[in-house]
């Protein structure tokens, strides 16, 4: 066991949110340690995989507004790290016209003056010939959207953090957190003391919070990440300018179905269901529920005539869901120098740089750059509990 070491801040969890937070802290000249339980890079949490959607299309204004800064910061990271992290494809949003989520997306885009193209049924067929638009569905394109190269982005942000003197210790699991004016963090390999601690432990958040006598109403679900083979290679390819897409609701489901153009695996299109079955993060692979895949098969058979309606590749990932699907970005209710970034509910990657900035601001006791009221723990009221 190594001797005790002192830091301004210890960040627990080197997924996208912890890595971005650590990077922001070191940019503020804070002596920062980023701890990760697994050897990096790993595929056991929520931030792995080659691609994620980035978009301004949201049902709520506050996300669309945050995305303005996210785009700027991802572009800056591309410059600093000298790698391409973003490819603009647009996001095709489809759903029952004039109501529900589809209407919310449309309103938010228009209100925030996001470059958007509304497709009529005729020009939908012309521009997107290999997708069936259901009867009664509207379609629009958020032109600003595209694909974020996730694994590459994570590597870039961790690399920039280290370049500025930040320390990453992987293969080192946090076993205990002892709150106090100086927080004591005990890992499988050592003991650290820090003025503040940021918990960004993804699906393991409540395990860590248990050491502080507190629990959040989080649910962890396993997502089957499905890739579907093109009947004719190239039909849905990123190079053919096929967009990312999102179906708000359809004959198969009231949950969203989303997809990304064929890119990382030639000839395979990623299409996922925005919900999964409950799992324990340490036993993710024992969760074998495939009802999400059955829903996707029916959807692909009905609406994606150029794809074989049987997944060719299935990978795994996890969502950490809050009851309202909004993030948790807040101080620990009992200890103001323990900060929590959690519950990213399957849509947090694109926000990484801004989440990092906000968690950094909270840990330094600064006024946050965005209104955090949608993300406060207090909104759960009776749903939070003491773990003591
Ligand atoms: C299939 C899928 C598709 C998605 N698609 C999109 C998308 O298109 N766009 C988008 O914006 N978002 C998307 N998301 C969501 C996004 O990927 C997540 O919100 C984000 O990755 C969450 O990051 P995180 O850092 O909170 O969690 P994680 O990546 O899970 O990181 C937490 C880290 O903490 C570590 N840890 C936990 N406990 C300890 C401990 N005791 N000691 C040390 N380390 C510990 C874990 O090992 C892990 O590395 C998707 C997610 C999935 C699963
Ligand atoms: O965040 C995203 O863009 C994706 C697609 C919609 C559902 C969740 N993740």
- Same domain? 316 vs 329: no
pLDDT tens for 335-344 read 999 999 999 9
- Same domain? 232 vs 317: yes
Strand partners, 341: 329
Q: What is the pLDDT of residue 381?
A: 81
- Same domain? 189 vs 225: no
Q: Which of 11, 37, 38, 202 to mutate to test the pocket of ligand 1 (most atoms within 8 A of CB)?
A: 202
Task: Give the SS3 label for residue 212.
Answer: helix
Answer whether 199 contacts ligand 2 (Cβ < 6 A). no
- Same domain? 37 vs 113: no
Task: Give the SS3 label for residue 116.
Answer: strand
Question: Annotated catalytic sites, by residue?
Answer: 48, 51-52, 270, 274, 317, 350
Spell out which residues line ligand 1, taking CB within 6 angstroms: 12-18, 35-38, 44-47, 52-53, 173-174, 200-204, 208, 223, 225, 272, 317-319, 344, 346-350
**Which residue lies with its CA nearest to atom 13 of ligand 1?**
347
Ligand 2 centre and the CA of 83: distance in Å? 23
Give residue 165's domain range: 5-47+151-215+324-383
In a domain, 203, yes or no: yes
Q: How many domains does the chain have?
A: 2
User: Do β-strands 191-199 and 338-342 pair in parallel, antiparallel, or remain unpaired?
Assistant: parallel
Q: Which of 10, 11, 13, 222 to mutate to test the pocket of ligand 1 (most atoms within 8 A of CB)?
A: 13
Last residue of a domain, one of 304, 321, 338: 321
Helical residues (DSSP H) of the chain, grouped into ranges: 16-27, 61-81, 100-111, 121-127, 150-163, 205-209, 291-303, 352-363
- Same domain? 168 vs 313: no
**What spatial distance separates the first Cα and last Cα of the chain, rounded to whole Å?**
28
In a domain, 80, yes or no: no
Last residue of a domain, one of 321, 336, 358: 321
Low-confidence ranges of the chain (pLDDT < 70): 1-3, 383-388
In a domain, 9, yes or no: yes
CB 150 within 8 A of CB 16: yes
- Same domain? 209 vs 224: no
**Which residue lies with its CA nearest to atom 5 of ligand 2?**
258
- Same domain? 168 vs 296: no
- Same domain? 118 vs 234: yes
- Same domain? 211 vs 225: no
pLDDT tens for 247-302 read 999 998 889 999 999 999 999 999 999 999 999 999 999 999 999 999 999 999 99
Report CA Rg, the chain.
21
Q: What is the pLDDT of residue 105?
A: 98
Q: Which two three-digit tokens encode residue 214?
A: 């507190």
């Amino acid at each position: 066991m190594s001797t005790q070491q002192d830091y301004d801040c210890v960040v627990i969890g080197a997924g996208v949110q912890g890595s971005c937070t650590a990077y922001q802290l070191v940019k503020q000249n804070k002596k920062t340690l980023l701890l990760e339980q697994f050897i990096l890079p790993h595929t056991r949490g929520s931030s792995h995989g080659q691609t994620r959607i980035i978009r301004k299309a949201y049902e709520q204004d506050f996300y669309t507004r945050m995305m303005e800064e996210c785009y700027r910061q991802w572009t800056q990271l591309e410059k600093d790290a000298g790698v391409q992290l973003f490819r603009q494809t647009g996001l095709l949003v489809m759903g029952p016209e004039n109501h529900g989520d589809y209407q919310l997306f449309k309103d938010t885009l228009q209100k925030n003056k996001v470059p958007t193209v509304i497709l009529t049924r005729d020009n939908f067929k012309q521009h997107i010939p290999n997708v069936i638009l259901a009867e009664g569905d509207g379609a629009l394109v958020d032109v600003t959207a595209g694909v974020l190269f996730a694994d590459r982005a994570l590597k870039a942000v961790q690399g920039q953090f280290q370049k500025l003197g930040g320390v990453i210790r992987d293969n080192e699991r946090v076993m205990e957190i002892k709150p106090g004016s100086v927080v004591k963090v005990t890992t499988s390999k050592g003991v650290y003391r820090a003025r503040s601690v940021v918990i960004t432990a993804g699906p393991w958040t409540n395990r860590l919070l248990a050491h502080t006598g507190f629990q959040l109403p989080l649910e962890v679900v396993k997502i089957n990440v499905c890739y579907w083979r093109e009947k004719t290679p190239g039909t849905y390819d990123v190079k053919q300018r096929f967009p990312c897409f999102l179906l708000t609701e359809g004959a198969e489901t009231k949950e969203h179905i989303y997809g990304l153009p064929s890119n990382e695996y030639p000839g395979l299109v990623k299409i996922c269901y925005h919900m999964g079955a409950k799992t324990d993060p340490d036993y993710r692979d024992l969760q074998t529920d495939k009802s999400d895949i059955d829903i996707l098969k029916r959807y692909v058979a009905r609406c994606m005539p150029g794809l074989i309606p049987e997944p060719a590749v299935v990978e795994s990932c996890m969502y950490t869901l809050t009851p309202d699907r909004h993030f948790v970005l807040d101080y620990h209710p009992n200890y103001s120098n323990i900060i929590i970034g959690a519950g990213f509910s399957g849509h947090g990657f694109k926000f990484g740089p801004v989440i990092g900035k906000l968690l950094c601001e909270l840990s330094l006791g600064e006024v946050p750059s965005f209104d955090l009221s949608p993300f406060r723990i207090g909104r759960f009221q009776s749903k939070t509990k003491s773990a003591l």
